[in-house]
Structure formats: C-alpha cells, structure tokens
Structure 1
Amino acid sequence: MSSPFKVLTIGDAMITLNPAVKGPLRYVTQFERKVGGAELNFAIGCARLGLGSKWISRLGEDEFGRVIYNFTRGEGVDVSGVEFVNGCPTSLNFKEINEDGSGKTYYYRYNSPILTMAPDMIHERLLEEVDLVHLTGVFLAIDPKNIEITKKIIEVAKRKNIPISFDPNIRLKLWSIEEARKAYNSIFPHVDILLTGLDEIRLISGMEAEDELAMFAREYGIKDLVIKDGANGSKLFRDGKWTRAESFLVTPIDTVGAGDGFDAGYVYGWLNGFSKERLLKFANGVGALVTTVSGDNEGLPYLNEVNAFIDDELIIER
C-alpha cells in the first residue's frame, strides 16, 4: 500500500557503464549500460517503498537523456521537475568493481546539463504537497552555483515548514575537503536529519566519539544525527540519547548505492513514525539488500521485500 507522504530531491543523473568483469578498469572490454546518480537512486528507493517521490534535474537532449527520463518515470518517480537541455551531453560514469564488491567510479561530467540550473528556477510550486526535502553533497560539489540553488530550496522548504534531510555524500574527486566543509557548515543549521557515514563525519568535523558527535548535533540544532557504519551497523542521536542497530549479515556483490538506499529507508520510516529501533533496523535492511545486487539502483527493494528480510519471514519461491 502506498504511503500518503511525498519526498523531493534534486541532483544530477548519469548513464552508468558497469563492467562485465571485476578488476582494474584498464582490462575491462565490455560494459552494461545502466542509470545512476545519488539523488536519483534515493528518489527511486523512496518510490519502491511506496512514497510519493519527486526528482528535479536537467538532462541532455540526447538518447542517453531519454533513457534516464523514461527509466525514472517508469519507476513511478514524478519527473515534472526534469527538463531537457540542448548542447549539454548527458553525464556518464564508468564503474570499477573489485572482487570483494568495493570499487571506484570515474566521472565524465564536463558541461553537464545540471550546470544550466540557477537559483531563480526554484519556485514554490516545485515543493507543493511535499512532506520532506532530501539534499546531498554530490549536487553541491558539481558546481559552486549549486550551493545557492540548494539554499533557495531550503528557504522555500523552511517557509513551508517542510523538514530537510541531508547526506554529505563526499566526492573528493569533485572538490576539496576545505570547500566541502565550508559548504556543509552553511547547510547544517537548516538540517533536521543528517545521514552520514562515520568516515564522512570524521573527515568533515574531526569528531568520531559519541560525546563529540552529540555536541556537534546540538551545535547545529540537528534533530536526528544518523551515523552509517557499514558492517558495524548504524546509530541515531535524538533527544540526548543514542540508539544503535546491528547490521544484517549479507554477502556484498556491489556496495554502490547502499548509502542512498539506507537514506530512502530512513526517510520512509521517519515519515511513517517508526520507533527509533525499528527506524534503524529498517534502514539497515534496505542498505543491506542493495549490496546483494550489482548496479546503482537495481537492488533497491520494495516494501514487502524489506519487511520480509528484516523480520526473517519465510518467502515461498515455488
């Protein structure tokens, strides 16, 4: 059953070329075409869980742009905020996957269509009937102008009393840590839910101990500080207390998109009023399921799949 809640996100999308074999990219001769992008993955993850999901972006007026648009619309995401742009090719990335499921991503984003966006393109109507806005550091990193676009979205969201979740999602191939910190510090005071990896928050703030992180959350007025820590599970600081949840034991095939899936799971549970324990368990389950399938968003699960997985229900296959 669909949830009555609707989320909105903004960001780039790319054609992802997945290698046919594992190992260094220089030895790969065949690729499979997929669709990817952190914010797009989040939007699809939310839609599969049953949330209303809206994505704002720009795509090249080309065949790859049409692939992304049609794929996203087919997943049930509202693409009314997506426009096609002439003269700017749709972005690409090539993935390199190691034997243990970890990997690297190589981006080809020069003259990306997303660069044609400007703060004055953000209007109140884009946020109509939206219950939560989700932002990430990937969009911020692509171009300095995107920081102002993000702040315009925040301004409109705050005027409408719409809560904001934020995932720093650091991309040091796109900007320096000093540039990232400066941008994040301007965003944090407006964030209700911060979803970050332990390594990320350590890099951003220099903090990792729980008392330090609690102080960080209080300093910026962050209601939910959520720490994602892979196989070590996750934890939440809310109302002066920490809540923890163990990870699920799976054999990872491809870890790309797991954080985006976790974010979608957390936002779903948060909007639907889950207890803190169930909230973390649900988000951990979504993230774990993503790693069991190769691809950026192919492993994003549907609601019944998550519930069956985290509650250890027997699934009848034949």
Structure 2
Amino acid sequence: MASKFGVLTLGDAMITLNPAEKGPLRFVTHFERKVGGAELNFAIGCARLGMRSKWVSRLGEDEFGRVIYNFARGEGVDMSDVAYVQGYPTSLNFKEIREDGSGKTFYYRQQSPILTLQPEDITDRMFEDIDLVHLSGVFLAIHPKNVEIAKRVMDIAKAKDIPVSFDPNIRLKLWSMEEARPVYSAVFPFVDILLTGLDEIRLISGCDSEASLAEFASVNTIDQLVIKDGANGSKLYTNGVWHTKEAFPVTAVDTVGAGDGFDAGYIYGHLHGLSSADKLSFANAVGALVTTVSGDNEGLPYLEEVWPFIHRQAVIER
C-alpha cells in the first residue's frame, strides 16, 4: 500500500565507477559500476521508507542513462518527469582509493543532461499529490541557470503551501564558497527545513554557537534548522528550543550517502508527525544504517529495518 505522503526532488544522477584496486587511478584497470547522486539517493531513501517519491531529472540517451533510469524505477521512484536527451552524455564519476584509505573523486559532468532542464519545464502538474519538496545545493552548483529552476520550484511550492526542505550539500569541486553564499542567501528565505552539516553551516554563515545559529534561523525564517554532525549525533532548533540526539553506535564502513539517508529519515519523521526528539532519532538511525554498507545508496534501509534497529539500541542502552 502506497504511503499517503508524496515527496518531490530534482537533480543530476551519475554512474559511479569504484576501483577494484587501490592506488592512483592511472594504474587501476577494473571498476565496479554503481549509481549515485545526492538527490537520487534522497529519492531512493524516501521510497524505501514507504513514501511516494518523485525524482525530476534528465538523462543521456545512452546505455548509462538507461542503467540509472531502470535502477531508480526498480527502487519505486516515480520517473514520470525524467526524460532522455541526445547529445549530453550521462554524467560519470571515478573514485580513487589509496592504500592508506584516503581517496579522491573525479567528476565528468561538464555536459550533464540536467543542463537541458529549463525553468519552463517545471509545471504545476508535477506537484499534484506532493506533500514536501526537497532541494540540494549540488543541483544549484552545476550551472547558474539551475538557480532559476530552483526558484520556480520553490515559488510553486509556496503557492501550493507545500513545505520546502534544503540540504546545502556543498561541493567545492563544483563551485567556490564565494559563489555559493549569495545563492544560499537567496534560497534560505524559501526554506522551511534546513538540513545541514555542522561544518557546512559554519562555512556558509560563520555561525558556531547555538545562539548565533538560532539567530541565523530566525533571520532567514527557517522553521526547522537541523544540524548533522556524524558520529556526534544531530540537533534541531525549532520554536525557540534546541533538541539534541546522540548518534547510534555502529561500525561504519562507508559514510557516502549517510547525509542523504539522514535527510530522507528526517523528512519521514516530519511528514508522519513524530516529535522533535523522535525525528532526530529516526534520522540518526537511517544515517547510521547507511554507513554499515559500502556504496552511495546500497545501505539506505527499508522502513521495516529502521524501527527494530532503534528499539534494539534502546534495549542495549537500558
């Protein structure tokens, strides 16, 4: 039975090529093909938690584009507003892992198919039966035009009284903080739920203390300021009060995608009316479970996995 709650997000997706061997990429000859992308990870995370999840995007009319389309559709994501385009190859990224565990990511997305998406492609019809819109800073960083697309999305959402969540998801390989800050400043007044890492919000706002962060939320009329801090847990500022929740102890093998999973978990909690503490707890649990599996989205849990995990941890703590 489909959830009564529908979520819409939009953005680029990529084929991720993970090295089969460690060391500089020039010596690596075998790669494992995966599917990645912050917004698509979020959409998959929401679908696995039982929500109706719509992803708006463009894919290259090529074999990799078909891989992404079929993968996302197989995860239950609504692909009705995803189109193939010619002349724009599906984006790629290659990961490099050194012997000491450090790594780099090399992006090949300069001619991303998402560049063909135009503001006029965003129509009222897309928002039918949608209860929340989620945007990411990755989409904004790809091309200046995307700011106008995001603005149109937020305008329609506001006109329909649909709340907007936003994750800055800073990618300094795509743009500088000097370029990003004014864009974020233009977006924040439209945002109801800001889901940000602690380091990210420090870079964006210069705020560090709870008092200054609370002032930042007030100035930008952000109803829920959610701060992700990895193994240190998370906190939420809303209605003049801070709420804090510790992280769940897990053995992390890969933190990629954990933030996207946290976002999906928090939005699940928000739409289902959980308390502030329970929203953080649920989001922390989803994020923790993601880290226990290698891959961008392989570890995103299903709803029937999350509640037992939370309950087991509660028993252990007692």
Kindly indicate whether residue 268 of structure 2 is the aligned counterpart of residue 268 of structure 1.
yes
**1 CA distance for matches of 2:215 and 2:25?**
42
**1 CA distance for matches of 2:79 and 2:285?**
27
Aligned-residue offset at 1:249: 1.2
Aligned-residue offset at 1:209: 0.7
Are the structure 2 counterparts of residues 292 and 151 from structure 1 closer, same or farther at C-alpha, using a change threshold of 3 Å? same
Structure 2 stretches of 5 or more lacking a match?
none
**2 CA distance for matches of 1:8 and 1:102?**
34
Aligned to 1:312: 312
Aligned to 2:219: 219
Are the structure 2 counterparts of residues 103 and 132 from structure 1 closer, same or farther at C-alpha, using a change threshold of 3 Å? farther
1:53-72 correspondence runs (5 A): 53-72=53-72
Kindly indicate whether residue 138 of structure 2 is the aligned counterpart of residue 138 of structure 1.
yes
Aligned-residue offset at 1:103: 4.0
Structure 1 stretches of 5 or more lacking a match?
none
Aligned to 2:86: 86
Deviation sequence 1:45-69 (CA, Å, 0-9, x none): 0000000000000000000000000
**2 CA distance for matches of 1:25 and 1:215?**
45
Are the structure 2 counterparts of residues 214 and 159 from structure 1 closer, same or farther at C-alpha, using a change threshold of 3 Å? same
Aligned to 2:13: 13
Aligned to 1:36: 36
Deviation sequence 1:176-214 (CA, Å, 0-9, x none): 101110100000000000000000000000111100000
Aligned to 2:288: 288
Letter in 1 for 2:142: I
1:123-272 correspondence runs (5 A): 123-272=123-272
Letter in 2 for 1:83: A
**2 CA distance for matches of 1:263 and 1:229?**
13
* Alpha-carbon contact 1:101-1:254 (below 8 Å) kept: no
Structure 1 residues 99-108 or 81-90, which shifts more? 99-108
Deviation sequence 1:75-112 (CA, Å, 0-9, x none): 00000010000011000011234678764322100211
* Alpha-carbon contact 2:248-2:313 (below 8 Å) kept: no
The TM-score normalised by the length of structure 1 is 0.95
Are the structure 2 counterparts of residues 201 and 84 from structure 1 closer, same or farther at C-alpha, using a change threshold of 3 Å? same
* Alpha-carbon contact 2:289-2:301 (below 8 Å) kept: yes
Aligned-residue offset at 1:254: 1.1
The TM-score normalised by the length of structure 2 is 0.95
Deviation sequence 1:153-192 (CA, Å, 0-9, x none): 0011001000000000000100110111010000000000
Letter in 1 for 2:200: E
Letter in 1 for 2:285: G
* Alpha-carbon contact 1:45-1:264 (below 8 Å) kept: yes
* Alpha-carbon contact 1:132-1:162 (below 8 Å) kept: yes
Aligned-residue offset at 1:236: 0.2
Are the structure 2 counterparts of residues 54 and 77 from structure 1 closer, same or farther at C-alpha, using a change threshold of 3 Å? same
Letter in 1 for 2:298: E
Letter in 2 for 1:58: R
The SS at the match of 1:56 is strand
Are the structure 2 counterparts of residues 296 and 98 from structure 1 closer, same or farther at C-alpha, using a change threshold of 3 Å? farther
* Alpha-carbon contact 1:225-1:237 (below 8 Å) kept: yes
Are the structure 2 counterparts of residues 92 and 182 from structure 1 closer, same or farther at C-alpha, using a change threshold of 3 Å? same
Are the structure 2 counterparts of residues 38 and 99 from structure 1 closer, same or farther at C-alpha, using a change threshold of 3 Å? farther
Aligned-residue offset at 1:309: 1.0
Are the structure 2 counterparts of residues 100 and 308 from structure 1 closer, same or farther at C-alpha, using a change threshold of 3 Å? farther
Aligned-residue offset at 1:26: 4.3
**1 CA distance for matches of 2:29 and 2:92?**
17
* Alpha-carbon contact 1:101-1:253 (below 8 Å) kept: no
The SS at the match of 2:166 is strand
Aligned-residue offset at 1:22: 4.4
**2 CA distance for matches of 1:133 and 1:172?**
24
**2 CA distance for matches of 1:249 and 1:106?**
31
Deviation sequence 1:109-158 (CA, Å, 0-9, x none): 02110001111111100111100000000000000000000000001100
The SS at the match of 1:248 is coil
Q: RMSD value over aligned CA atoms?
A: 1.6
**1 CA distance for matches of 2:243 and 2:99?**
33
Kindly, what percent of the aligned residue pairs are identical? 71
Aligned-residue offset at 1:2: 4.2
